[in-house]
Structure 1
């Protein structure tokens, strides 16, 4: 192998230097790359029936016509309060971070701006001791049925204002698989770097290409690179369970490692998950040396049979010192178990033993060949996103399901999270009007708010003389009120639980 030539992923994907152009529709993530709606959804507008040939899903936000529905199949029963973060992905519709309530009703959505294609891994984190929303934006391609991303990470505050974007150091772009903000206000994430590599000893071409997993730690405020770890310098290709690309694809990158999560252990060292080696690595944060391997062909631990995992995602240390992961158990071709699960292990690092603690299973025994997440909640329960399968579940400590739902069958979300969030949007509420049987139907919404309890409609003959008043409880993303007769103008006001006006729409003229 020679390191004298660097191949940027951008050049590789564009076919520069004789490399093949990757045109996979999302690889293992199942994403169909491309846009189907060019409207920006962070600028609400009023809407009337005359402006729409057919009633949109939300009259106040006709730009959200193709936003996928979220269905709750097990109503919240003893679940902790919070919202569900998803990144819907399907062949058609709007793509971007989506937050819904426990009834499946949207709280906030933002369409991914061009030229990005998808959003991935939408969640709440802490930055500078304040809650922030984070997600990845970019495009995804790949080989061998696996998704590899080119993009960057977005941080937004409680008002949904963009704080900053975090980009990879060097010529390559950040991969979508994970983004962790550390207590030092730094970010841990992966870069998939294609390298020239002699693969003859593994049955591949001499002039082959290796997809290396590069872990970076970046100072968020300055963009300075603080730490970097390259998988191929510490992990042998013989540890991989992934087959090499063959035939016409032989010169496409060999994704031997496929990193998909990174984080800090309680002792400050790094925990990194590799899907294609079925291994989690504990990495010395100072030297980069591998402290131990858990799982795979070279495991340093003796693992109980029920605790063994494969093709895993989202490896984390929990508050009580145990470890958890989403055990896919299958990649769609090689299957070690019939169902995927959230798995909890207890490690004895001195004795090098791994013991089974618990597993969390979907009632339908779902098998998710790709993607997935498994997170501990504040009360000790757990939340699972079922990856390639469009489902999510919230579990009690005994494994029983206390909340469940799903996206449409043709959809999926790389991960799913239950979060605590207070949204305070700075824009105006959105208002849609139409006339039905001589009355005005008022449709009101406010993308991102979590404080609205009721809506009030004021109506009258002049924008400054709106004496008619009607109120109603908030009923999901959009609330509908009926104003008797046909006034000239209507304004919608959002009220909190005390009746305080949080925000008001513009005065919209009624057009019959």
Structure 2
């Protein structure tokens, strides 16, 4: 292939250029396979586009002809010159799709310079082939991909130096589809990227290039700084290989070519290509989430019915539209609103559930900010609720088969305030029924019951359980009264400490999966007890709670700082969970003039005092074996 052309690119902050009149007058629906998307029809995809502005200084330069490239000497294909940078050196790679040739400059381009790019000749291709693979770019803000044990196996972030938009990440036949953010002239703009396994951006679409002049779909006059006019909340692959993008801020859904990134159509908002039929809502949807395409070609979405910053709310609903691409109409064919008429200004989503075996499909709906967590309804003309889960709320519901396990041990905690009724006397809570032991195995599925074991030292024998308990909830609870009653029923002999006025019991639990599959046992939980009326010959006495308070409402188990993820673990970890030691760490924080948050590490008993308050848990991360809490919580409970 012997073709060359020149591409002019403006880097840095410059004025936004209006598109030519021909671009505004042209029909926005582009038939896939049509020639001429970039002038001569020779190339399927070029990034950045000709005369692009506001391009990241860290951008790569990509060209894709559309067929498989015969790898060879690709280094001489690009001749790149900047007004300020002069001749730009770099490396040329072939992306994992074997189609996209990408130039990476050795140094960032200069601010406010125009760059000329000449490409070719010498690109050789093979027809036809399609090859895709996985992974993505690494940057400071990342999405973590977890396996079935909840361990991070990959990290995903946008290319070209953009910031990850955490609303949307999809795995796509080995590639990754990400949304990203960039701020230009004090306005937040959005980016959609498809990345391959070698972190190459093989397709990119930016609002800065298509949302200009009359083609700008902005509806709101947002007073926030910087204004977030467009606000992508969903970007994913369609069944026919294109990309569908939901823009919450402008009540707009767009379909992008999966090959070139060009807009094929716009649905909704003030720049819609479609006339809406069969629906009396005006606008037909607004503030929508989770817009995607069904296998029959219909578009379905969660229509919030309002924007969080604007407009009177109307009942939120699921809306399904049938598109006629000849007449350019969008006809409502199905919708569902909650019988309560709930209105959700933020978040939400849906999933079509294939129930198999000839059973009719159902629709799983998450109502977002308002809740309930999800509602499942029949997918028919007069939908009825099949089941509903209240008490929580989430951004988007998903129902999939899942079998989770863990590389960690089950969690145990001892609390003196869990039932909310206990009263403190002389700095302690003295009723056994007010003290509770809590145990759970976070993320592990299939647990049917628990076995509880007790010993006089940390080496609790696991040969005979003291108690059995069917699993009824995420977290199981027993009171110290139940524990003491079970000890008496089994004639368990308590070994006192040297002063015979106290004794330490140690509790471990083992989860049971199915009928008899014993999973990993927990660490031993130290339960300090007060011992009175001790009879030495009979080795018997009366057990009562310890002379202290353990306010579990003050503590965040398994929550640490993100930096703690890389903290080296000691060679020999402590086998004991000691809540008294956690209390001591909390007291140190209370006594400190600079401490706002404390972190207690169970593996070695270390107490870390931190001067940050961590509002809304920002900067914190789920991390087994770390217990955190805030300053003065102990004082507040006394």
- TM-score norm. by structure 1 comes to 0.62
Cα gap change, 1:335 to 1:402, in 2 (>3 Å)? farther
The equivalent residue for 2:332 is 356
Over the residues paired in the alignment, what is the CA RMSD in angstroms?
A: 3.1
- Does residue 1:274 correspond to 2:274, yes or no? no
Alignment of 1:97-496 (within 5 A): 151-183=141-173, 185-196=174-185, 209-219=186-196, 221-238=197-214, 239-245=216-222, 252-306=225-279, 308-332=284-308, 334-335=310-311, 338-379=314-355, 380-392=361-373, 393-398=375-380, 399-407=383-391, 413-432=394-413, 437=432, 442-461=437-456, 463=459, 465=461, 467-481=464-478, 482-483=482-483, 484-485=486-487, 487=494, 488-496=505-513
How far did residue 441 of structure 1 move? Answer: 6.1
How far did residue 152 of structure 1 move? Answer: 2.3
**Greater relative contact order: 1 or 2 (C-alpha under 8 angstroms, separation 6 or more)?**
1
In structure 2, distance between residues paired with 1:474 and 1:128: 41
How far did residue 298 of structure 1 move? Answer: 2.9
Q: 1:501 aligns with which of 518, 521, 525?
A: 518
Per-residue CA shift, 1:57-85, capped at 9, x if unaligned? xxxxxxxxxxxxxxxxxxxxxxxxxxxxx
The equivalent residue for 1:76 is none
How far did residue 425 of structure 1 move? Answer: 0.8
The equivalent residue for 1:100 is none
Cα gap change, 1:213 to 1:226, in 2 (>3 Å)? same
Per-residue CA shift, 1:349-370, capped at 9, x if unaligned? 2332222111121121112222
| Maintained 8 Å contact 2:319/2:334 | yes
In structure 2, distance between residues paired with 1:508 and 1:444: 10
In structure 2, distance between residues paired with 1:370 and 1:464: 50
Per-residue CA shift, 1:9-55, capped at 9, x if unaligned? xxxxxxxxxxxxxxxxxxxxxxxxxxxxxxxxxxxxxxxxxxxxxxx
How far did residue 311 of structure 1 move? Answer: 2.4
| Maintained 8 Å contact 2:454/2:460 | no
| Maintained 8 Å contact 2:460/2:506 | no
Cα gap change, 1:468 to 1:368, in 2 (>3 Å)? closer
Cα gap change, 1:431 to 1:258, in 2 (>3 Å)? closer
In structure 2, distance between residues paired with 1:342 and 1:215: 25
In structure 2, distance between residues paired with 1:440 and 1:490: 14
Cα gap change, 1:344 to 1:228, in 2 (>3 Å)? same
How far did residue 336 of structure 1 move? Answer: 7.5
In structure 2, distance between residues paired with 1:464 and 1:311: 56
* Greater C-alpha Rg: 2
How far did residue 284 of structure 1 move? Answer: 1.1
How far did residue 416 of structure 1 move? Answer: 3.2
How far did residue 402 of structure 1 move? Answer: 2.3
The equivalent residue for 2:538 is none
| Maintained 8 Å contact 1:311/1:327 | yes
SS in 1 for 2:473: coil
| Maintained 8 Å contact 2:231/2:248 | yes
Per-residue CA shift, 1:360-390, capped at 9, x if unaligned? 2112111222222122223321222222223
Cα gap change, 1:499 to 1:389, in 2 (>3 Å)? same
SS in 1 for 2:369: coil
How far did residue 509 of structure 1 move? Answer: 4.1
Cα gap change, 1:433 to 1:275, in 2 (>3 Å)? closer
How far did residue 153 of structure 1 move? Answer: 1.1
| Maintained 8 Å contact 2:133/2:175 | no
SS in 1 for 2:403: coil
Q: 1:4 aligns with which of 1, 11, 36?
A: 11
How far did residue 186 of structure 1 move? Answer: 1.5
**Number of residues of Structure 1 aligned to a counterpart in Structure 2:** 352
| Maintained 8 Å contact 2:231/2:247 | yes
In structure 2, distance between residues paired with 1:461 and 1:254: 62
SS in 2 for 1:345: strand
- TM-score norm. by structure 2 comes to 0.50
Alignment of 1:50-129 (within 5 A): none
How far did residue 171 of structure 1 move? Answer: 2.4
| Maintained 8 Å contact 1:460/1:468 | no
